[in-house]
Structure 1
């Protein structure tokens, strides 16, 4: 899904920026001969081989260093400090975990998602998994700027995504830390449904990142958040993957929003709507 999302985003940008610039007269704007427009399957393979796999290899090594397990053991018995034995599961968790977070997936190796200590053992691994979730969606905005020949356009989209994400994060932190009442005071805060090794801050940050990207991974129980905090997670799910959204889907979702916004602004000021120097007409708005 991550590779498809990137390929779709790249195809959308190319299809929007190149055909008219190349002076094509064919229906649909596809040029007859060009080495620039690319091929969906080529973009798909390049996205996997040049982006997803290299990051996954490096990310898996970082997670192993953090304490995430990576072995080929099945269910096995281990000794306990208090005596006796306990059955533990093994598996190639680190390599699967990095793919899960990088590609906006969820579930987890042990069906307990990123709350399981074998998948997310400490605060640093928690921050690194959040970084993996946000890495490609935010980075693709600069890719967009390079493809259209204007880095400022990419940075403008990045700034829009970042402002929304930071606003959600600030609101979530405020409402979760501001819990009042005997239950909150006894628990040291709004800790229901949260892992003690992450605390309120690490859980809130993960909740905002995972809902604004539509990632299936969670490290806490969102329905156990405060009323306002739970509302923030639901709003993030309903926002439509734009801040920063999933891999590829965040970029093309934001581009659709930009096309509609430019069109409406053009109508209000009485000018022909244009984006990236190209007129936006009925056909483009219908697609958007």
Structure 2
């Protein structure tokens, strides 16, 4: 935060890693894309070349544009450490400032999430108004969606990228709709005692944003593995908090982090095509490449990494006193806080249900391991899939080839997402936010 890090640390330490992490995600994504576009190739590209190109041609130009736009909207960009302000009561107050706009730009564009200020995008110096809020949401989403269309161009079939992008958008819009519906309705316990429900649930939200912009930002930041926040997710209604939680449990695939969203979605596409092949009784193929035993084993290994990390660590934490001692809320909301913490760490998101005290030896250790599993254990089978596909021959499409660019494929892909992740997480969600929602309707809160 602003009181912990020096300007030099922010600029040379954190900002550099913000660029490198995003460029690494793009490099991993296009390694998998080359697996589909190349035929009988022993390689899938050069990591250092991809890292350099991603930084110089994508991240830096966009960051400069977004940073200048944020400055125009009132975000500070200075090497000055602080300024003195006079409050309405006449008292003096010291306000921290610094190179905020440049940090904010790559924080959002690189789907990193770590803000200059501890309050993140809820701080008026990070996002002063509704227009800056919309610009930051655009910055969150632009590269992940663009990579889907870049995928279509790389495989010489724009329809493939369009199908992936449409599926991402459907999942994202569904999440925003549920979150807004939950937050706009307000708290039923407050409505019972005569509180006006028209503003919606304003607890933990900035007045300049309200429930609508808060729900949109929360869905976008967890749908892209960013972790930036403009409201307190822990203060959302149970079903409102379920949306960002479920986004992370899915691996933030709608549209996902920079690069990570694309390769995560392509793994699901492989599974969907395999299921389609089983249903019609022919060898499944995706973009002319046969999906065989090895690729399916690797794809299933990849999608099992997240539930293995999240559910295992959550289960152990609720059984140990050292895990329960950090809770400030009991019952289903306490379980949701622990589940959210490990989902956020595994997904490399960083947002939190802040009722959990995470700065303890137990959570520092287990959350750190969860971060490593989510980042490295997932990408290893993805790169193995890329290498396996690159070495295969590319077959020509025939009459019996399952089309992977139309509404049927989009529907099948959505079905795979719903069935796969509900089977993995529904029991945990039923014990957490879902039962909390029904308890709230019955007049009990946690």
- Give the TM-score, by structure 1 length: 0.91
Q: CA deviation at 1:225?
A: 0.6
Match among 93, 97, 102 for residue 90 of structure 1? 97
Match status 1:100 vs 2:100: no
Per-residue Cα deviation, 1:116-158 (whole angstroms, up to 9, x for no partner): 1110111010111011111100111110000000000000000
Match among 118, 124, 134 for residue 125 of structure 2? 118
Q: Residue 42 of structure 1 aligns to a residue in which SS?
A: helix
Structure 2 CA distance for aligned equivalents of residues 38 and 239 of structure 1: 28
Match among 21, 25, 37 for residue 5 of structure 1? 25
Per-residue Cα deviation, 1:218-266 (whole angstroms, up to 9, x for no partner): 1111110111111112111101121101000000000000011111210
Q: Report what 1:283 is aligned to.
A: 294
Kindly report which structure 2 residues correspond to 1:32-111, keeping only aligned pairs within 5 A, or say none. 38-111=45-118
Q: Which moved more, 1:107-116 or 1:151-160?
A: 107-116
Q: Report what 1:178 is aligned to.
A: 185
Q: Residue 271 of structure 1 aligns to a residue in which SS?
A: coil
Per-residue Cα deviation, 1:57-114 (whole angstroms, up to 9, x for no partner): 0000000111111111113323345424211111000000011111112231121111
Structure 2 CA distance for aligned equivalents of residues 71 and 281 of structure 1: 56
Structure 2 CA distance for aligned equivalents of residues 241 and 170 of structure 1: 17
Q: CA deviation at 1:278?
A: 1.6
Q: Residue 108 of structure 1 aligns to a residue in which SS?
A: coil
Structure 2 CA distance for aligned equivalents of residues 254 and 106 of structure 1: 21
Per-residue Cα deviation, 1:206-226 (whole angstroms, up to 9, x for no partner): 000011111110111111011
Match status 1:204 vs 2:215: yes
The answer to whether the 8 Å contact 2:224/2:252 transfers is yes
Q: CA deviation at 1:282?
A: 1.4
Unaligned runs of 5+ in 2: 1-20, 300-446
The answer to whether the 8 Å contact 2:122/2:231 transfers is yes
Structure 1 CA distance for aligned equivalents of residues 34 and 171 of structure 2: 26
C-alpha distance 40-107 of structure 1, shift in aligned 2 (>3 A): closer
Kindly report which structure 2 residues correspond to 1:213-224, keeping only aligned pairs within 5 A, or say none. 213-224=224-235
Structure 1 CA distance for aligned equivalents of residues 235 and 66 of structure 2: 30
Which runs of 4 or more aligned residues in structure 1 lie more than 6 Å from their structure 2 counterparts after TM superposition? none
Unaligned runs of 5+ in 1: 32-36
Q: Report what 2:426 is aligned to.
A: none
Match among 165, 175, 178 for residue 168 of structure 1? 175
Match status 1:30 vs 2:42: yes
Structure 2 CA distance for aligned equivalents of residues 30 and 182 of structure 1: 63
The answer to whether the 8 Å contact 2:36/2:287 transfers is no
Q: Residue 88 of structure 1 aligns to a residue in which SS?
A: strand
Structure 2 CA distance for aligned equivalents of residues 174 and 95 of structure 1: 34
Superposition RMSD on alpha carbons, in Å? 1.5
Q: CA deviation at 1:163?
A: 0.5
Q: Residue 87 of structure 1 aligns to a residue in which SS?
A: strand
Match among 17, 23, 34 for residue 37 of structure 2? 17
Q: CA deviation at 1:284?
A: 1.7
Q: Residue 207 of structure 2 aligns to a residue in which SS?
A: coil
